[in-house]
């Protein structure tokens, strides 16, 4: 089910992030997030199953959050896994995690 939208939460649904969010996934992540920028309401991502998160994917998420902010919306991360949270904290992005949570 990783990488699929599931019905529910908001008009755009919740996007379930995959287990591995590394350089091999960054292009696909960018494409998926671009689709969500124009959806009404906030963008919600389910990070429960993320086992690996690297800087390129974090950069896409930061860009998404900034773009949404400029449009009066926000990024929400639900059920962040330990690996997702640890990667964000390791990169010094504690504030962003708190804003997205």
- pLDDT tens, N- to C-terminus, the chain (101 residues): 444 444 233 345 799 999 999 999 999 999 999 999 988 899 999 999 999 999 999 999 999 999 999 999 999 999 999 999 999 999 999 999 999 98
Q: In what order do the strands lie in the sheet with 14-16?
A: 5-6, 14-16, 43-46, 75-78
Query: Full-prediction pTM beyond 0.75?
Result: yes
CATH of the domain at 68: 3.30.750.24
DSSP string, 49-99: T--EE-HHHHHHHHHHHHHHHHTT--EEEES--HHHHHHHHHTT-HHHHHH
Sign, CA torsion 78/61/25/8 = positive
Number of domains in the chain: 1
Note down the domain range covering 39: 5-100
């Amino acid at each position: 089910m990783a990488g699929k939208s599931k019905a529910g939460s908001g008009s755009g649904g919740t996007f379930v992030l995959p287990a591995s969010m590394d350089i091999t996934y960054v292009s696909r992540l960018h494409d998926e997030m671009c689709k969500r920028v124009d959806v009404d309401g906030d963008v919600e991502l389910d990070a429960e199953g993320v086992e690996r998160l690297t800087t390129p994917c974090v950069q896409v998420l930061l860009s998404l959050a900034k773009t949404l902010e400029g449009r009066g919306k926000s990024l929400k991360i639900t059920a962040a896994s330990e690996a997702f949270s640890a990667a964000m904290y390791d990169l010094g992005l504690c504030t962003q995690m708190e804003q997205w949570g």
